[in-house]
């Protein structure tokens, strides 16, 4: 496959996933902000979302004040923020159009319809929860169309690669939003509500109860989202998928491998054989920061090997 | 202007020509509302497939649909075979002419064509001198525009020897007709058009350098998604099962062309290029071109890659060279032309210019190197001010203009806002050439001028298209109206 096509498909996977993840991040923050007990604490929630999503510098360059409305506008609409929901849809559609023949009609339809609707959608105030839900549904529709209709060749694998890598990055960032909360045990009801919100944001609250059949505990939440392979959005599951996809691409090319294969394998092994106590002992924030950095490096290595070689 | 020849029938009560017997009967028994519903369905179909043609510089949505008319244009077997033989003859002569002009230049030495029209032409490529492309073919894919003025009167209006477009519409139009009117199609025995992609791939493979072996790597080179014919580039690549690439996807190393793939560099043997000569290679032609591939011409001249069509074909389809094509046929093939040219006045000839300036009200004036219906004037439809403007332009730059009589282009019934009415058409068959043979898919692209009385069929000027049917057998000569 042409490197340019791979590039478009890889980023198509990343942009669609990112749009949904920003929506997830906004949803959990909305919930956390409404749960705050202290006056002014809800603004901290919006602030930590900006920091965790890596958007704080861009935001501060444009806004003097951190308010819900400003943050939402920046993360949803602002064309200067390339990680915003609407800019992500726009970039995804552009990529899809460039490699139109590599996509199925259903994938294109899901994306094109979303793009046509999102341009005029309202998302502030009361509309926000409904809008965020809609964004998640549209991305689920796109992923479902890909899953159901796409030929299992290299094009499919590159979309999957983009999705899995972006998802890993997002889970690490979401955890990082409230790493302080998960680093200690607590019986505070407010904190309990906050834990629930974090799990809900990765569609994992029910999953927690199925896996642990117990009350929420900080260490177990961290373990579920980082180390449990059963949860499709856990770090270990995402990297497992990255390794699997990279191996399938290599198999299709007569075993040709590069640094990205080694790095992905190393990352996955670390998670597959890691223990949550060790991670928490070393500090959750430090661990997550390291994971986010390695995920970014893996992305660059994949591009260096397959796309910009 | 004389009344145009209608390909279905002369006048509302006149006899229906044989080839149209079934179509006329269908039109007579189908209520207008039903036809209109079918037209809406066709539009939906084309929009869903995403067949668009980009029109720039006019504001509005640049991604436009070319209007498709659901009433087919029908040709009989004998009619088509006459055209087909004439087309093959003409394209053979054009290829011989190109080989000659970039080689011994015998036709120029013999004084049969003025040398300045060829070697002094902007489209003449010095880079092609003393070099023979693989197989000696220059224009592998040619589109020859034909018009008709009577039952047996066909003329070549112009040749397109560089990068003719429109063939995807020919194929999609047939698909649309098969989906919308299976019964009507079934009442005819039509010669199929859907082998075009296969023929094209075979033509491109045959153009490959010898060392490429039996299965050369073919790509379609596009200027990118902003080009008006981008849809067609992707469509053809997809149908042939080859990659559609942009300049940046290719690179040249040691005079060998590679494309960048996920599995590493892959050698390319044949490039069906849909970008103009000027933009092919910034090292050889326009240095500011970002669309092309640096070093491509060197690789081509080294015999490591084939370009289809060859650079420099512009001298064969230039409108100032066009009047000499019949001469080429006599010179290279020793035959009389089977397809006539439209009489053409070259404004740079003093005698012709005087005639043109005196008869602007009845002539069509065109830019010698223009295309797409831009920069032309149709005398009988022009205002006095427009004619005065063109007269001034012709006096200022006579070499840039040619003129032809305004032909009464034939008409075919067309579904218009006001019902079914005759509209003028032309025909662009696509001619594929290898060193051994010439292949033409029966029919071609019929373009129709949708505005009443308009003679301009170009899609960039609001023209539409029709499916073109060639019957497997000749029809009986004519039937009575139904």
Helix (H) or strand (E) holding B4: none
Q: Domain boundaries in chain A?
A: 1-149, 166-309
Q: Which pLDDT tens digit goes with each residue over B55-111?
A: 555 555 556 778 899 999 999 999 999 999 999 999 999 999 999 999 999 999 999
Q: Alpha-carbon distance B142 to B98, whole Å?
A: 13
Count of beta carbons in the 10 Å neighbourhood of residue B303: 15
Residue B262 has its nearest CB partner, among A97, A101, A154, at A154
Q: Token match 């060193």: residue?
A: B435
Instruction: With CB atoms and an 8 Å threshold, state whether B234 touches A6.
Output: no
- Give how far the C-alpha of residue B28 lies from the chain's centroid of Cα atoms, to the nearest Å: 33
A39 close to A45: Cβ distance less than 8 angstroms = no
The pLDDT of residue A38 is above 70: no
Looking at beta carbons, which residues of chain B come within 8 Å of A258? none
Cα(B442)–Cα(B179) distance, integer angstroms: 20
Question: Considering chain A, what is the average pLDDT of its residues?
Answer: 90
Residue A165 phi, psi (nearest 5)? -65, -45
Letter string b/e over residues A81-103, b meaning 16 or more CB atoms within 10 A of that residue's CB: bebbbbbbbbbbbebbbbbbebb
Among A33, A84, A31, A18, residue whose Cα is nearest residue A205: A31
Distance, CA of A22 to CA of A36 (rounded, Å): 21
List chain B residues with CB under 8 Å of A307.
262
Instruction: Output DSSP code: residue A305.
Output: I
Q: What is the pLDDT of residues A263-293, one digit of tens each?
A: 999 999 999 999 999 999 999 989 999 999 9
Residues A158, A160, A161: CA angle, nearest 5 degrees: 65
Secondary structure, 3-state, B163-191: CCCCHHHHHHHHHHHHHHCHHHHHCCCEC
Look at the block and give the residue holding tokens 């001619």.
B431
Coil, strand, or helix at residue B56?
A: coil
Does A72 score more than 60 pLDDT? Answer: yes
β partners of residue B9: B16
pLDDT band at B457 (very low <50, low <70, confident <90, very high): confident
Q: Do B261 and A101 touch (CB under 8 A)?
A: no
* Dihedral angle sign, alpha carbons of residues B332, B335, B339, B343: positive
Instruction: Calculate mean pLDDT across residues B419-425.
Output: 94
Nearest Cα neighbor of B94 from B319, B440, B325 is: B325
Q: Least CB-CB distance to A101: which of B234, B261, B263?
A: B234
CB contact under 8 A, B263 and A309: no
- For B20-47, the pLDDT digits (tens) are 999 999 999 999 999 999 999 998 888 7
Pair B292, B280: CB distance under 8 Å: yes
**How far apart, in Å, are the Cα atoms of A167 and each of A134, A160, B31, B109?**
19, 10, 57, 71
Does residue B51 have a pLDDT over 70? no
Band (A194; pLDDT cuts 50, 70, 90): confident
**What's the rounded Cα separation, in Å, for the pair A15 and A139?**
10
Closest CA to A55 of A26, A89, A20, A34: A26
Cross-strand pairs, B427: B146, B446
The pLDDT, as a whole number, for residue B329 is 98
Q: pLDDT band for position A181 (50/70/90)? A: low
Token couple for B186: 């079934």
CB count in 10 Å sphere of residue B111: 8
Dihedral pair phi/psi, residue B76, rounded to 5°:
-80, 165
Q: Is residue A112 less than 8 Å (CB to CB) from chain B?
A: no
The token pair that represents B433 in the structure block: 């050439």
Give A-chain residues touching B260 at CB under 8 angstroms. Answer: 2-4, 309
SS3 B228: coil
Can you tell me the distance from the alpha carbon of B464 to that of B448, in angstroms, rounded to the nearest whole number? 5
Query: Where does residue B72 rank: exposed (0-12), middle (13-18), buried (19+ CB within 10 A)?
Result: buried
Name the burial class of residue B419, with classes exposed (0-12), middle (13-18) and buried (19+) by CB atoms within 10 angstroms of its CB. Answer: exposed
The answer to whether B447 and B460 have CB atoms below 8 angstroms apart is no
B391-398, long-range: CB within 8 Å, 24+ apart, which pairs? Answer: B391/B357, B391/B360, B394/B347, B394/B353, B394/B356, B394/B357, B394/B365, B395/B357, B398/B347, B398/B348, B398/B353
The mean per-residue pLDDT over the stretch B260-274 comes to 96
Element (H, E) at B230: helix B230-240
What are the beta bridge partners of residue B447?
B426, B465
**Site of tokens 């489209």:** B123
Residue of A nearest to B242 (CA): A1
Of A244-258, B33-47, B53-67, B357-371, where does mean pLDDT reach its minimum?
B53-67
Residue-by-residue DSSP string for B259-306: EEETTEEEE--EEEE-S-HHHH-TTTS-TT-SSS-TTHHHHHHTTSSE
Q: Which residue has the tokens 């170009």?
A: B458
- Asked whether the CA dihedral B161, B166, B171, B173 is positive or negative, the reply is negative
% of chain B with per-residue pLDDT over 70:
93
Report residue A71 as tokens: 């943050």
CA A161/CA A298 separation, integer angstroms = 11
pLDDT interval class at B160 (50, 70, 90): very high
Are A2 and B245 a contacting pair at CB < 8 A? yes
- Residue A103, phi then psi, degrees to nearest 5: -100, 165
Length of chain B: 482
B56 contacts B309 by C-beta, under 8 angstroms: no
pLDDT in tens, B199-234: 999 999 999 999 999 999 999 999 988 888 888 999
Is pLDDT above 50 for B482? no
Q: Do B262 and A4 touch (CB under 8 A)?
A: no
B237, closest residue in chain A (CA to CA): A101
pLDDT at B479: 52
What is the three-class DSSP state of B464? strand
Q: Is B365 helix (H, G, I), strand (E, B) or coil?
A: strand
Q: What is the arithmetic mean of pLDDT over B237-242?
A: 92
- Residue A69: count of CB within 10 angstroms of its CB: 13
- Taking contacts as CB-CB distances below 8 angstroms, the residues of chain A near B234 are 100-101
Q: Do A97 and B263 touch (CB under 8 A)?
A: no
DSSP letters for A195-243: HHHHHHHTT-HHHHHHHH-S---HHHHHHHHHH-TTSTTSHHHHHHHHH
Helix, strand, coil content of chain A in percent (nearest 5): 75, 0, 20
Domains of chain B with bracketed CATH: 1-124+140-193+428-476 (no CATH), 343-406 (3.30.1490.270)
Residue-averaged pLDDT of chain B: 91
The pLDDT value recorded for residue B481 is 45
ipTM surpasses cut 0.90: no
Please report which helix (H) or strand (E) contains residue A118, including its range: helix A105-118
Q: According to the model, what pLDDT value does residue B49 have?
A: 67
Range of lowest pLDDT (A106-120, A144-158, B334-348): A106-120
Q: What is the pLDDT of residue B460?
A: 67
Tokens 């001034």 correspond to what residue? Answer: B392
Q: Shortest CB distance from A309 goes to which of B237, B243, B264? A: B264
pLDDT at position B335 over 90: yes
Residue in chain B nearest A253 by alpha carbon: B263
pLDDT for A107 equals: 92
Q: How distant is the Cα of A73 from the closest Cα of chain B, in angstroms?
A: 28
Cβ A171 vs Cβ A202: under 8 Å: yes
- Indicate if the pLDDT at residue A119 is higher than 70: yes
Q: Does A158 touch chain B (CB under 8 A)?
A: yes
Contact B271, B242 (CB under 8 A): no
Query: For residue A37, what pLDDT band results from cuts at 50, 70 and 90?
Result: low
Whether the bond between B309 and the residue before it is cis, its omega within 30 degrees of 0, is yes
Looking at the complex, report in whole angstroms how far the Cα of residue B51 sits from the nearest Cα belonging to chain A.
12
Closest CA to B144 of B428, B456, B465, B432: B428
| CA–CA separation, B94 and B337 (whole Å) | 12
Residue A264 to residue A272: CA distance in whole angstroms? 12
Residue of A136, A115, A166 whose CA lies nearest to A295: A166
């Amino acid at each position: 496959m042409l490197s340019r096509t791979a590039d478009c498909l890889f980023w198509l996977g990343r942009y669609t996933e990112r749009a949904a993840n920003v929506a997830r991040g906004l949803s959990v923050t909305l919930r956390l902000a409404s749960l705050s007990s202290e006056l002014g604490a809800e603004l901290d929630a919006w602030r930590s979302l900006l920091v965790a999503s890596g958007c704080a510098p861009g935001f501060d360059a444009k806004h003097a004040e951190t308010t819900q409305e400003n943050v939402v506008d920046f993360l949803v609409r602002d064309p200067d923020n390339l990680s915003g929901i609407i800019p992500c849809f726009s970039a995804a559609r552009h990529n899809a159009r460039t490699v139109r023949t590599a996509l199925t009609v259903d994938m294109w339809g899901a994306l094109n319809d979303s793009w046509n609707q999102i341009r005029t959608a309202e998302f502030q105030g009361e509309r926000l929860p409904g809008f965020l839900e809609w964004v998640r549904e549209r991305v689920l529709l796109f992923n479902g169309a890909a899953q159901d209709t796409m030929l299992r060749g290299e094009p499919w694998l590159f979309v999957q690669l983009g999705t899995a890598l972006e998802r890993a990055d997002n889970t690490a960032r979401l955890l990082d939003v409230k790493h302080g909360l998960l680093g200690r045990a607590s019986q505070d009801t407010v904190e309990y509500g906050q834990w629930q919100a974090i799990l809900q944001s990765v569609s994992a609250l029910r999953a927690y109860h199925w896996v642990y059949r117990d009350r929420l505990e900080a260490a177990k939440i961290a373990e579920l989202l980082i180390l449990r392979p059963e949860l499709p959005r856990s770090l270990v599951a995402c990297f497992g998928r990255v390794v699997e996809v990279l191996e399938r691409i290599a198999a299709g090319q007569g075993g040709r491998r590069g640094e990205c294969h080694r790095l992905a394998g190393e990352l996955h092994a670390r998670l597959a054989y890691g223990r949550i106590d060790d991670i928490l002992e070393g500090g959750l924030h430090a661990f997550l920061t390291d994971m986010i950095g390695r995920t970014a490096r893996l992305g660059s290595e994949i591009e260096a090997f397959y796309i910009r070689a | 202007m004389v009344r145009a020849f209608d390909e279905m029938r002369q006048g509302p009560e006149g006899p229906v020509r044989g080839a149209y017997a079934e179509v006329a009967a269908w039109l007579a028994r189908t209520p207008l509302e039903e036809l209109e519903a079918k037209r809406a369905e066709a539009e939906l179909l084309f929009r869903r497939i995403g067949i668009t043609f980009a029109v720039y510089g006019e504001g509005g949505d640049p991604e436009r649909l070319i209007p498709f008319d659901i009433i087919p244009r029908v040709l009989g077997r004998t009619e088509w075979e006459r055209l087909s033989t004439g087309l093959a003859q003409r394209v053979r002569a054009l290829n011989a002419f190109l080989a000659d002009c970039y080689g011994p230049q015998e036709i120029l030495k013999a004084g049969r064509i003025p040398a300045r029209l060829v070697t002094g032409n902007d489209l003449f490529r010095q880079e092609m001198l003393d070099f023979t492309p693989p197989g000696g073919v220059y224009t592998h894919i040619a589109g020859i525009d034909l018009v008709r003025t009577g039952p047996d009167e066909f003329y070549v209006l112009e040749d397109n020897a560089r990068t003719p477009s429109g063939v995807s519409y020919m194929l999609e139009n047939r698909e649309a007709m098969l989906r919308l009117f299976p019964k009507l199609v079934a009442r005819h025995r039509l010669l199929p058009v859907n082998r075009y992609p296969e023929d094209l791939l075979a033509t491109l493979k045959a153009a490959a350098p010898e060392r490429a072996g039996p299965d050369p790597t073919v790509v379609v080179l596009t200027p990118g998604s902003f080009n008006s014919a981008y849809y067609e580039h992707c469509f053809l690549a997809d149908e042939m099962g080859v990659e559609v690439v942009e300049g940046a996807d290719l690179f040249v190393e040691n005079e060998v062309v590679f494309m960048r793939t996920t599995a590493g560099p892959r050698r390319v043997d044949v490039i069906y290029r849909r970008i103009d000569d000027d933009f092919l290679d910034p090292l050889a032609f326009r240095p500011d071109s970002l669309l092309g591939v640096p070093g491509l011409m060197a690789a081509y001249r080294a015999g490591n890659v084939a370009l289809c069509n060859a650079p420099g074909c512009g001298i064969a389809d230039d409108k100032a060279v066009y009047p000499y094509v019949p001469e080429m046929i006599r010179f290279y093939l020793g035959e009389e032309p089977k397809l006539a040219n439209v009489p053409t006045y070259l404004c740079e000839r003093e005698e012709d210019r005087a005639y043109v300036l005196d008869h602007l009200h009845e002539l069509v004036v065109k830019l010698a190197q223009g295309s797409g219906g831009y920069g032309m004037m149709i005398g009988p439809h022009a205002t006095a001010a427009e004619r005065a403007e063109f007269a001034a332009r012709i006096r200022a730059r006579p070499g840039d203009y040619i003129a032809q009589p305004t032909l009464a282009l034939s008409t075919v019934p067309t579904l218009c806002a006001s019902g079914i009415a005759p509209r003028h058409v032309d025909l662009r068959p696509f001619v594929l050439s290898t060193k051994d043979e010439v292949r033409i898919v029966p029919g071609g692209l019929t373009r129709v001028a949708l505005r009443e009385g308009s003679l301009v069929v170009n899609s960039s000027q609001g023209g539409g298209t029709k499916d073109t049917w060639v019957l497997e057998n000749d029809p009986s000569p004519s039937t009575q109206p139904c």
